[in-house]
Homo-oligomer: A and B are copies of this chain.
Amino acid sequence: MTNAMGLRERRRIETRRLILAAAYTLFRRRGYDGTSVDEILAQARISKGSLYHHFPSKESIFAAIVAERGERCSEGMARAADPRATLHENVHSIVRASWDAMRADDDWPRLQMEFSLLASREAWAREAQAASYEQCRKLIAGFIEAGQRAGAVRRGIDPAAAAQLFMALSDGLLVQWQTDPDALDPDELIPPMADMVSRYLAATPPTDEDRRPANTVAGLDKP
């Protein structure tokens, strides 16, 4: 009985994965608005009944993709944070992780912009986007609160507002990068972006010391 349930559950997860992969392939190629449910069925090679069993609508596929991307980005940032590193190093790693998540494939930034535009127009898309933003905001606010407890981040900072500013920098650079690509190289902007964020957060103004690994600052490194 347990085995039968296990198999059914594995199949469910696999079908869901197939649908999302097929939808994502088509959204990348033709945009969300340019893709029909029938095309997703054909791409995933599944029946309409099977699709609707998993997703009641194209909107719910959109929501699942937004949620999955948000989780992937959050996981990348959480992995990047290192309790032994300095504030500046952590900010730098987290900035890089958020950029890497955005650049996971060439078409994602454009698709994210289309999703944002949809969210500005449609309540169902706004809900999906808001949930993803909230997850990311909570994660970053959590980093900042931990930094405040450790004395590395200023007490006067509102963690939620700081998280919004961090996310705005990422989103805004994405928009500039997509709309004016010749003027902006993400890799060149990671250091100044990390510098801006860590100067904003830092309990004490940064010095060159802050750029060294934590164990160097603490004098714990071996000769």
Contacts and interface: CB of A to CB of B under 8 A. Distances in A.
Interface of A: 109-110, 113-114, 116-117, 119-121, 125-126, 129-130, 133-134, 137, 157-158, 161-162, 164-165, 167-176, 178-184, 188-189, 192-193, 195-197, 199-200, 205
A180 B113 contact: no
Given A183-B134, A200-B199, A164 B173 contact: yes
A47 B189 CA distance: 48
Contacts of A178: 116, 119-120
Nearest to A204: B205
Given A169-B169, A199-B199, A164 B189 contact: yes
A167 B176 contact: yes
Contact of A175 (B121, B172, B180): B172
A192 B162 contact: yes
Contacts of A110: 117, 120-121
A167 B164 CA distance: 15
A46 B5 CA distance: 69
Contacts of A125: 179
A192 to B, nearest CB: 5
A89 to B, nearest CB: 18
A184 to B, nearest CB: 6
Given A113-B116, A196-B196, A161 B176 contact: no
Contacts of A173: 164-165, 168, 172
